[in-house]
């Protein structure tokens, strides 16, 4: 893995402003800044049936670092010798802050410290159900262990993050108690995890505002996607005063996964107009890398990085986008911003504008009648659930007798 020093030099400005319609009234910044804590290599790897190799972890960390990610949670050092080695090597090779996870157990904290990370992330269950049936500890024991772990990590001179696991299902009075105790112990960050994905944006924002009353630490949020609200909850956390969100590439993670790196970054950049410091032009590249390493396919309709995110088949949509891409794309997020490309897909719903463009891109010079005839063939072929490739389109063009551009023919010859 190479030395990682590349950072984005300038932020790509918005292509259009929200000066019309329902968003016209938003004139004041809703979020001041956004920090990205990536947990792809820890929570992401905890996805069922997922395991990254040593080389894959190093490569993913390298790319995250080059892109300007603020914190990389490289793993759980106490878990195994291989995990310890990977975390240690990533910590030594990257410029960004590298974090190691630890339970509120002495051996976990010591393993994290020995791995050389700059941040130790300690966590303890705080909800009644997890305390009773997972941790098998009392509230008093949870507070005592949390304080001791924070103090040990602070004593070692590293940044410390404390997480009350299952915070959104924790009694508010006990949550306040343990936050105040760890605040007194000197924690630098408090992570508020929606461990089982039961938060809603409004309720989560209210919880973050409550948390702010009981800690002087910076606030980080960790949202799970069991109800499809992880990214919305992360952004609600920012609106309520959180400084950082924990995310994973492609949203992978336990059960339904986490708030997705690409969604949170692009929402911040494009919808809230906040410079995240992330090189967004490498987002698609990063997504494909994690997709291959995790063996978890990215759905075609996945926001930002799905194959359909900037693809158009419908005749009305394609015609509009050919004229002006802002007609049926967000405008504030373009394929170029995330390192992707726009595609006009041919099929059952295709209109003449798309067919003409694809024919011309392939070197043909069709008449209006020829475009209509080829469009009919494309629609019929697509209706049979067949994929209309460039080769198929070329065959149709030749059947109809569409001429090629002379210069194009010479180049091909």
The pLDDT of residue 353 is 87
Q: List the chain domain ranges.
A: 30-294, 312-400
CA dihedral 140, 151, 64, 227 (to 10 degrees): 10
- Do residues 309 and 345 lie in contact, with contact meaning Cβ atoms separated by under 8 Å? no
Given 3-state DSSP classes, what are the helix, strand and coil percentages for the chain, each rounded to the nearest 5? Answer: 50, 15, 40
| pTM (predicted TM-score) | 0.89
Q: What is the pLDDT of residues 169-214, one digit of tens each?
A: 999 999 999 999 999 999 999 999 999 999 999 999 999 999 999 9
Lowest mean pLDDT across 25-29, 225-229, 339-343, 389-393: 25-29
Whether CATH 3.20.20.70 fits 30-294: yes
Average pLDDT of 215-241? 98
Count how many residues are written for the chain: 413
Q: What is the pLDDT of residues 384-406, one digit of tens each?
A: 888 888 899 999 999 999 999 76
Contacts of 171 (CB under 8 A, 6+ apart): 127, 128
Is the pLDDT score of 6 beyond 50?
no
Average pLDDT of 340-365? 89
Alpha helices in 160-314 (DSSP H): 172-184, 201-212, 230-239, 261-266, 283-294
> 135: which DSSP letter?
I
105-114 own/partner pairs: CB under 8 Å, 24+ apart: 105/145, 105/149, 106/152, 107/78, 108/77, 108/78, 109/149, 109/152, 109/153, 111/77, 111/78, 111/84, 112/77, 112/78, 112/153, 113/153, 113/156, 113/158, 114/77, 114/84
The two counts, helices (H) then strands (E), for the chain are 15, 10
The pLDDT of residue 3 is 45
Q: What is the pLDDT of residues 16-69, one digit of tens each?
A: 555 566 666 777 889 989 999 999 999 999 999 999 999 999 999 999 999 999
> 302: which DSSP letter?
-
Q: What is the pLDDT of residues 271-317, one digit of tens each?
A: 999 999 999 999 999 999 999 999 999 999 999 999 999 988 787 78
Q: What is the pLDDT of residues 68-123, one digit of tens each?
A: 999 999 999 999 999 999 999 999 999 999 999 999 999 999 999 999 999 999 99
């Amino acid at each position: 893995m190479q030395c990682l020093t590349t950072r984005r030099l300038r932020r790509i400005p918005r292509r259009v402003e929200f000066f019309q319609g329902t968003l016209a009234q938003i004139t004041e910044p809703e979020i001041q800044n956004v920090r990205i804590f990536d947990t792809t290599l820890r929570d992401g790897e905890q996805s069922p049936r997922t395991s990254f190799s040593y080389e894959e972890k190093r490569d993913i960390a390298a790319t995250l670092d080059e892109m300007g990610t603020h914190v990389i949670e490289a793993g759980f050092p106490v878990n195994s010798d291989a995990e310890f080695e990977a975390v240690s090597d990533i910590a030594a090779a990257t410029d960004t802050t590298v974090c190691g996870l630890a339970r509120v157990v002495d051996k976990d904290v010591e393993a994290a410290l020995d791995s050389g990370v700059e941040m130790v992330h300690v966590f303890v269950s705080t909800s009644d159900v997890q305390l009773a049936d997972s941790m098998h500890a009392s509230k008093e024991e949870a507070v005592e262990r949390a304080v001791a772990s924070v103090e040990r990590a602070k004593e070692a001179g590293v940044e410390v993050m404390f997480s009350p696991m299952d915070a959104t299902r924790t009694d508010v009075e006990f949550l306040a108690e343990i936050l105040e105790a760890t605040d007194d112990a000197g924690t630098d960050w408090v992570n508020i995890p929606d461990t089982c994905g039961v938060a809603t944006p409004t309720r989560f924002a209210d919880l973050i505002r409550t948390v702010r009353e009981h800690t002087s630490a910076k606030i980080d949020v960790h949202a799970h996607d069991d109800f499809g609200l992880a990214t919305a909850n992360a952004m609600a956390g920012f609106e309520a005063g959180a400084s950082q969100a924990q995310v994973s590439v492609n949203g992978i993670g336990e059960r339904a996964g986490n708030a997705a790196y690409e969604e949170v970054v692009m929402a911040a950049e494009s919808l809230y107009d906040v410079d995240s410091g992330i090189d967004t032009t490498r987002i698609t590249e990063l997504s494909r890398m994690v997709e291959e390493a995790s063996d978890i396919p990215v759905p075609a309709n996945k926001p930002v990085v799905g194959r359909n995110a900037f693809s158009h088949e419908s005749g009305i949509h394609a015609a509009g986008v050919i004229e002006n891409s802002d007609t049926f794309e967000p405008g504030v997020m373009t394929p170029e911003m995330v390192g992707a490309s726009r595609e006009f897909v041919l099929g059952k719903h295709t209109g003449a504008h798309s067919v003409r463009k694809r024919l011309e891109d392939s070197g043909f010079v069709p008449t209006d009648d020829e475009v209509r005839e080829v469009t009919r063939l494309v629609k019929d072929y697509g209706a049979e659930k067949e994929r209309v490739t460039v080769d198929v389109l070329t065959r149709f063009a030749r059947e109809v007798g569409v001429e090629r551009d002379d210069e194009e023919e010479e180049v091909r010859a």
